[in-house]
């Protein structure tokens, strides 16, 4: 395992570039899962390698349900990423999480229904644990970075991932609050699941743009208001990326998440489909080459 960091940054709505990136160069990456959302921006911040991918593509041309998340995660793995920091715009399901707040997520409720959620399938079956779906080490660095960037951080939040692209009905929004969800978005699932399968420690920072429609006295969510808040959040997000990378220890010590596939593969080697294995060369090559 490498002792150097290569940080993959997945930028969501409001974060389409990283100003602090040095030696920046966009590079196209081919994957067996199709095209990722965009080319990958390679560069460095200080001594740390950074790979930036705008989740919706430059110009925000891809809707949430059509983001090719398998290709995105595979492409970041092929670019040598050791860890992923994802940044997303979110709606708030709690009064105290006002627009402009930054939220470090630690749990998910997945309500997406139309998106491929695994790299594995018939011909190569694997089961990874998602009990603790984010990396606590990265999440800790992210919380500090938010404050260093001038943002207000909340931690320990549960994210409800909805299919979209429409916003919630009021009945849904009220139900999600009863379930214990704190924030709502459309992109973190299956992204977190696929990062785990690719043995990439993952943390998610959510940028609150609006209150979801659960508040009786409030107006419905309007895209124009969301876009205005996204602009303000994006300025802080760019600073937090720089602060996050600057906070990393010089040496990257191994994470238990680096080797989650060691005990996840279940298909007998004699029954594995070579075509499926070929698609998994980046994601699971570490374990497949030795088994």
From the candidates 83, 110, 210, 262, give the one annotated as an active-site residue: 210
Question: Residues with Cβ < 8 Å from 93, sequence gap 6 or more?
Answer: 160, 173, 176, 177, 181, 182, 183, 184, 212, 214
In order of 14, 131, 162, 169, 213, the CA distances from 172 in angstroms are 25, 25, 10, 5, 9
Please state the separation of Cα 131 from the chain's center in Å: 17
**Which runs of consecutive H residues, i.e. helices, occur in 44-169?**
69-78, 136-148
210 is catalytic: yes
212 is catalytic: yes
Strands (E), 14-164: 22-27, 40-45, 48-54, 83-92, 102-111, 153-162
From the candidates 83, 148, 212, 216, give the one annotated as an active-site residue: 212
**Any idea which residues carry the catalytic annotation?**
210, 212
């Amino acid at each position: 395992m490498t002792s150097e960091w290569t940080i993959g940054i997945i930028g969501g709505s409001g974060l389409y570039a990283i100003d602090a990136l040095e030696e920046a160069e966009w590079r196209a990456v081919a994957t067996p899962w199709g095209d990722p959302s965009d080319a990958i921006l390679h560069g460095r911040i200080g001594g740390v390698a950074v790979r930036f991918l705008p989740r919706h593509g430059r110009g925000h041309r891809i809707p949430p349900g059509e983001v090719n998340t398998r290709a995105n995660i595979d492409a970041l793995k092929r670019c040598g990423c050791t860890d992923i920091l994802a940044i997303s715009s979110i709606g708030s399901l709690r009064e105290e999480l006002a627009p402009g707040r930054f939220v470090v997520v630690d749990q998910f409720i997945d309500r997406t229904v139309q998106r491929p959620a695994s790299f594995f399938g018939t011909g190569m079956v694997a089961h990874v644990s998602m009990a603790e779906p984010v990396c606590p080490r990265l999440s800790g660095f992210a919380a500090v970075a938010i404050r260093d960037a001038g943002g207000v951080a909340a931690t320990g939040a549960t994210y409800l991932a909805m299919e979209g692209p429409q916003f919630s009905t009021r009945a849904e929004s009220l139900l999600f609050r009863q379930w214990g969800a704190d924030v709502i978005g459309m992109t973190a699932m299956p992204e977190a699941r696929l990062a785990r399968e690719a043995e990439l420690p993952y943390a998610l920072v959510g940028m609150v743009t609006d209150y979801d429609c659960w508040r009786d006295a409030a107006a419905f969510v309007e895209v124009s208001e969301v876009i205005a808040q996204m602009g303000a959040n994006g300025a802080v997000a760019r600073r937090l990326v720089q602060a996050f990378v600057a906070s990393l220890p010089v040496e990257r010590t191994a994470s238990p998440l680096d080797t989650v596939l060691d005990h996840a593969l279940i298909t007998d080697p004699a029954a594995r489909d070579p075509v499926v294995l070929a698609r998994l060369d980046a994601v699971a090559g570490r374990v497949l080459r030795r088994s």
